[in-house]
Amino acid sequence: MYNVKSLKAEEFIDNQEILDTIEYAEANKYNFEFIEELLEKARPLKTAEGCVCRGLTHREASVLLACDEPKYIEKMYQVAQEIKDAFYGNRIVLFAPLYLSNYCINGCVYCPYHAKNKHIARKKLTQEEVKAEVIALQDMGHKRLAIEAGEDPVNNPIEYILECINTIYSIHHKNGDIRRVNVNIAATTVENYRKLKEAGIGTYILFQETYNKKSYEELHPTGPKHDYAYHTEAMDRAMEGGIDDVGLGVLFGLESYRYEFAGLLMHAEHLEAVHGVGPHTISVPRVKHADDIDPEAFDNSIPDEIFTKIAACIRIAVPYTGMIISTRESEEVRRKMLQVGISQVSGGSRTSVGGYTQEERPHDTEQFDVSDQRTLDEVVKWLMETGHIPSFCTACYRAGRTGDRFMSLCKTGQIINCCHPNALMTLTEYLVDYASDETKEVGYKMIEEELRKIPKENVRKTAAENIEAIKHSDRRDF
């Protein structure tokens, strides 16, 4: 139908194709035979080399999303969980956002950083403040950050972002270096992406906000972000600049969710076809109440049940892509989302600039309300109590297993022999260095049980030895 490779992202993620997809999904949503077929096709297949998943096209996955028959929704959840178990196991990667600056020249109507907001306190961290924030995050036990900033070439130029990354990587504090800095900054040039790559970033994250060009232009009326094509093609420039882990996302609630879902999957198809590797992660943020934003203005907010179904359908469609949920969501919603394929969560987050060094959660520079306000220790304990291994692992990144090299690890089902032991070792580090006594108790018990699941005997033995060594302050990974 399309020559995917020859089209730019903006051309490929075509309005008419999205509308046709929605119509096709509507026409097939009670075609249960077809839905069964799709679910069967999406299930993990055991092969001699490991496990494979075929995923679904944007059209096929949109049929699942449109189906509102409870029996089939339940089946979707089951298949999503099967896929998550097959490729990621029960590990959940933890991270925290670090807000560097809320100076912004854009006019995004849903974001309190918009340039016309005159009463939000504007703040940009100095390098000393970056250091203090990072030490506060390290003292909680974090190893992986996502840095966030508004778009302002005068106050937050690329040089400032690079300086902050450099500062973060150079802090060696007690037990805890930050080992991976992911970056969520505005769309930029190939040259700047190259500089970010050279600075050693992990994933470059950029939310599309909406794939509906008309709405996009209305929601971003002023500033550089107004340019839909420039924003939509950012990931291609990032990949051209050498960044091979990119993170997609839409801000659910701005436009109709079926539209966004099809657009998001088409974007993933575009990256896979053109660059040979799909998105490393997909984030699923929902628009939240924020300062100077009219909460009534976004009438496309989606209910929790639909939100969960979206996550399950993403998991089914792009089985090898990590999926991220932030503290925008409550404990209850996060619990449900974990059952349908989420692989990364933030914990102990503050969305204000300089928030981690304050005793009380500050609101004056905050980007949006945080629903899950638990501490990292509480989130870690909760994850284990709900059957998940909290992982602080960054070994792939340090060993250069990014882009398609990470994907091949995932596709050959080797996560259980590599990521699983690494997760247990980094969890041990966390328990030794930071956990409360109650969390330690739950954690050590879980580690014992999880070690037994490692299939290769030599790997299991080495992991057990490493864990013992870590308990005695000797740090290792695979």
Contacts to ligand SAM by CB under 6 A: 110-111, 148, 150-151, 184-186, 206-207, 209, 225, 251, 285, 287-288, 290, 293, 328, 367-368
Q: Tokens 């950083």 sit at which residue? A: 113
Which residues share a beta bridge with 282? 248, 323
Largest CA distance in the chain: 62
CB-wise, 290 or 427, nearer to ligand SAM?
290
CB-wise, 169 or 230, nearer to ligand SAM?
230
Asked if residue 61 lies in contact with residue 21, where contact means CB atoms within 8 angstroms, the answer is: no
The secondary element (H helix, E strand) that includes residue 51 is: strand 50-52
CB-wise, 209 or 429, nearer to ligand SAM?
209
Query: Which residues contact residue 260 at a Cβ distance below 8 angstroms, ignoring those fewer than 6 apart?
Result: 210, 211, 212, 250, 252, 254
The secondary element (H helix, E strand) that includes residue 94 is: strand 91-101
CA distance 183 to 286: 19
CA distance 183 to 98: 10
Q: What are phi and psi of 184, to 5 degrees?
A: -120, 85
Q: How far is the CB of 244 from ligand SAM (least distance, A)?
A: 20
Q: How far is the CB of 208 from ligand SAM (least distance, A)?
A: 9
Q: How far is the CB of 274 from ligand SAM (least distance, A)?
A: 22
CB-wise, 152 or 269, nearer to ligand SAM?
152
Q: Which of 245, 343, 261, 306 is nearest to 56 (CA)?
A: 261
Whole-angstrom CA distances from 122 to 22, 101, 105, 291, 364 are 41, 8, 12, 13, 9
CB-wise, 90 or 192, nearer to ligand SAM?
192
The amino acid at 122: R
CB-wise, 351 or 428, nearer to ligand SAM?
351
Side-chain-facing half-sphere of 194: CA atoms under 13 Å? 5
CB-wise, 251 or 312, nearer to ligand SAM?
251
Q: How far is the CB of 283 from ligand SAM (least distance, A)?
A: 8
Q: How far is the CB of 431 from ligand SAM (least distance, A)?
A: 31
How many CB atoms lie under 10 A from the CB of residue 303?
9
Q: Tokens 């077809």 sit at which residue? A: 34
Q: How far is the CB of 163 from ligand SAM (least distance, A)?
A: 18
Q: How far is the CB of 367 from ligand SAM (least distance, A)?
A: 6
CA distance 204 to 196: 9
CB-wise, 39 or 250, nearer to ligand SAM?
250
Calculate the dihedral angle through the C-alpha atoms of 304, 306, 312, 316, rounding to the nearest 10 degrees.
Answer: -160
Which residues share a beta bridge with 98? 147
CB-wise, 150 or 403, nearer to ligand SAM?
150
Q: How far is the CB of 181 from ligand SAM (least distance, A)?
A: 14
Q: How far is the CB of 55 from ligand SAM (least distance, A)?
A: 25
